[in-house]
């Protein structure tokens, strides 16, 4: 159990377009979902925390109007990168905390690689 999926696994887009990434908990309900970004040879950086039915909480330095997060249900969160630019090219990873788990262990998706041309 505790499987998290992401779609798409990779995407290439033109500069100025918007890209939507989906994160789904497949076999459990997630109390909270998180979005991370990872640049090459660097560690994961938390971007935002998302709870179902409420606005996401963004980390310092992350533009909420550029990275739109929608948490429509207990199993789905989406991240939309609006007006993407080459510097937004990165590995985007989501995670989900399973409801009822001791200490809300996070389970991660496989990641989405974004390349903006």
Partner 1 sequence: DAKTTQPTSMDCAEGRAANLPCNHSTISGNEYVYWYRQIHSQGPQYIIHGLKNNETNEMASLIITEDRKSSTLILPHATLRDTAVYYCIVRDPDSWGKLQFGAGTQVVVTP
**Which is nearer to partner 1, 42 or 73 (by Cβ)?**
42
Site string for partner 1, 55-84 (x = CB under 8 A): --x---------------------------
Task: Name which position in 69, 97, 114, 116 contacts partner 1 (CB under 8 A).
Answer: 97
Asked whether the beta carbons of 4 and 33 are under 8 A apart, the reply is: no
Q: How far is the CB of 83 from partner 1 (least distance, A)?
A: 26
Map the footprint of partner 1 across residues 14-43, applying CB under 8 A.
32, 34, 36, 43
Q: How far is the CB of 50 from partner 1 (least distance, A)?
A: 11
User: What are the two backbone dihedrals, phi and then psi, of residue 88, each rounded to the nearest 5 degrees?
Assistant: -85, -5
CA end-to-end span of the chain: 37
Binding residues for partner 1 (CB under 8 A)? 2, 4, 6, 32, 34, 36, 43-46, 49, 57, 91, 93, 95, 97, 103-111, 113
């Amino acid at each position: 159990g505790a499987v998290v999926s992401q779609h798409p696994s990779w995407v290439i887009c033109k500069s100025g377009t918007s890209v939507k990434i989906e994160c789904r908990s497949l076999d459990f309900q997630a109390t909270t979902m998180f979005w991370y970004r990872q640049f090459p040879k660097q560690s994961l950086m938390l971007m935002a925390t998302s709870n179902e039915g409420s606005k996401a909480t963004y980390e310092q330095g992350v533009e909420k109007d550029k990275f739109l997060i929608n948490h429509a249900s207990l199993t789905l969160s989406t991240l939309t990168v609006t007006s993407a630019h080459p510097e937004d090219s990165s590995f985007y990873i989501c995670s989900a905390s399973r409801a009822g788990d001791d200490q809300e262990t996070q389970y991660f998706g496989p990641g989405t690689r974004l390349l903006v041309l």
